[in-house]
Structure 1
Amino acid sequence: MIDVKLCYFYPKANDFMKKYIPNLITLLNVFCGCVATVFAASNQLEMAALYVFLGIFFDFFDGLAARVLNVQSELGVQLDSLADMITSGLVPGIVMFQLLNMANFGSWSEGGSAYSFMSLMDYIPLFGFLITLGSAYRLAKFNIDENQVSSFVGLPTPANALLILSLALILQYHDNDTLNGIILNTWFLVFMTILSTYLLNANIPLFALKFKTWSFKDNAVRYIFIIISAVLLLTLRVLAVPVIIVFYVGASLVSNLSEKS
């Protein structure tokens, strides 16, 4: 004989579990951000990048899980932004700090100047945290902007994090004196810090990789972007990441112009 109480309990338990699955995935993003922070602070930038990639992976799938299970919630929205603040806001700020520190002859390194600063140049690595400040401002705006549902205004923080982390990975995997000289130039890094902070909060509509249908006609820009990005990654490896970010912004601008005309 079927227990009526069990019939009532199991659907309720199932609904309870479904409700919290996306939030658990988001918390995995938080965890990855915490581990990436430890590695970035220790100047182990390759490992920091690995955990940021994992965090961004979870960041993509928490929203997907919420939509598939139909359990979107305001709590999930807020938690998602808090997770992004760590993984895609704090970590790239620390990475830029480390890059500026390397370019500035390690003034903040243990055994260097022992934190007794002799000039204004010694403070330049701190400028990297402008990325973290810009990320915080962007995420706060995103939480109260009801228009950023199917598209973004300004560069999303995960894309910006990939842009900054790619600089460290290019140093690691592309042993090229010219590239190394450019990336470890203090003023290039300052320029990249200002540019990424601007792009985060610029009033530029950018398409989101969210497919409402699988139709090529409705998603031509998205399909073309994914295909070209895959080809670039296969041919240029890590060097493809900044190229893809530039292509993403350019493709969005072209798409916006075509929609207006």
Structure 2
Amino acid sequence: MKKHIPNFITLLNLSSGLLAIIAIFKGYYDEAFIFVCLGIFFDFWDGFFARKLNVSGELGLQLDSLADMVTSGVVPGLMMFRLIETIQMNQTAYNVTEETFYMGIVPYFGFLITIASAYRLAKFNIDKRQIDSFIGLPTPANALFIMSIPMIQFYGAYEWIFDLLNNPYVLMFITFLSAYFLNANIPLFSLKLKSFSWNEAKLQYLFMGFAVLMFLFLDFIAIPIIVLSYILLSVIINSKSKPAIG
């Protein structure tokens, strides 16, 4: 039975993604955020238990990617689509013109996140360089980044941030930035634990501590700061070690 434990956890990740999709369609963005966080939690542990139980295999690898495609690929793309669509609908509700018709196409660009996520996951499965680290932003981190936007809008304390994130052009910029970072040739350290040893996971523990403190002090606005800090820290670390990236 133990060989099925990691796959069961992976399926919980997939289930969380499906529930997040339903929540988005119903307009419950806070619930969608919670379900994505839950899915990422399961994604964090399925590989850990697969290694500890020594039951890693090709099935688990493919199942993990398929689950991530839903929770960390489809969901953030759909969220960006709905965010831009809502802004467009509010702006054009009483002023329907030919220009607003073409502007109605803009929300569909949000699915560039989903397309870029699929490409990133496919590359990960065949890239032998990404066994112990990542090249490009992992899809779960990107999903958290995107899913934090409505949380910052609705629960943020700063009106100027709300106005900024309520601009379709800003959301389009975030979309393109997200698609770029997902597939950028940037080496990033892995946040997944191979063991609980301090010596082996010191960097991961320190960064997790930093993330918790940021969230306690800055609430949801901490999430994009944490993701950008993760990228910046990885760049600094790798610039010192200068790994060979082909």
TM (norm. structure 1) is 0.86
For the 8 Å contact 1:96–1:128, the answer to whether it is kept is: yes
Report the Cα distance in structure 2 between the residues aligned to 1:162 and 1:118, rounded to whole angstroms: 30
Structure 2 residue 231 is matched with structure 1 residue 249? yes
Structure 2 residue 72 is matched with structure 1 residue 88? yes
| Percent of aligned pairs with the same amino acid | 47
1:137 match: 119
Gaps of 5+ in 2: none
Q: Secondary structure at the match of 2:104?
A: helix
Q: Which residue of 12, 19, 22 maps to 1:38? A: 22
Report the Cα distance in structure 1 between the residues aligned to 2:224 and 2:62, rounded to whole angstroms: 29
Change (3 A) 1:91 1:113: farther
For these two proteins, the number of residue pairs brought into alignment is: 242
Report the Cα distance in structure 1 between the residues aligned to 2:178 and 2:238, rounded to whole angstroms: 21
Question: 1:45 offset after TM fit, Å?
Answer: 0.9
For the 8 Å contact 1:92–1:131, the answer to whether it is kept is: yes
1:236 match: 218
Structure 2 residue 65 is matched with structure 1 residue 71? no
1:169 match: 151
For the 8 Å contact 1:46–1:169, the answer to whether it is kept is: yes
Report the Cα distance in structure 2 between the residues aligned to 1:24 and 1:228, rounded to whole angstroms: 31
CA deviation profile, 1:201-249 (whole Å, cap 9, x unmatched): 0000000023456565654433332222121011001110000001000
Superposed, which structure 2 residues align to 1:96-107 within 5 Å? 96-106=80-90
Further displaced range: 228-237 or 214-223:
214-223
Q: Secondary structure at the match of 2:89?
A: coil
2:180 match: 198
For the 8 Å contact 1:36–1:91, the answer to whether it is kept is: yes
Q: Secondary structure at the match of 2:130?
A: coil
For the 8 Å contact 2:152–2:220, the answer to whether it is kept is: yes
For the 8 Å contact 1:30–1:55, the answer to whether it is kept is: yes
Change (3 A) 1:169 1:64: same
Change (3 A) 1:213 1:48: closer
Q: Secondary structure at the match of 1:152?
A: strand
Residue identity opposite 2:207 in structure 1: F
For the 8 Å contact 2:44–2:192, the answer to whether it is kept is: no
Question: 1:186 offset after TM fit, Å?
Answer: 0.8
For the 8 Å contact 1:107–1:122, the answer to whether it is kept is: no
Q: Secondary structure at the match of 1:147?
A: helix
CA deviation profile, 1:50-72 (whole Å, cap 9, x unmatched): 11111111111111110111100
2:190 match: 208
Q: Secondary structure at the match of 1:203?
A: coil
Q: Secondary structure at the match of 2:134?
A: strand
Further displaced range: 39-48 or 88-97:
39-48
Further displaced range: 146-155 or 213-222:
213-222
Larger-gyration structure (1/2): 1
Residue identity opposite 1:60 in structure 2: F
Q: Quick one: higher RCO (CA 8 Å, sep 6+), 1 or 2?
A: 2
Residue identity opposite 1:242 in structure 2: P
CA deviation profile, 1:53-99 (whole Å, cap 9, x unmatched): 11111111111110111100100000000000000000001110111
For the 8 Å contact 1:221–1:255, the answer to whether it is kept is: no
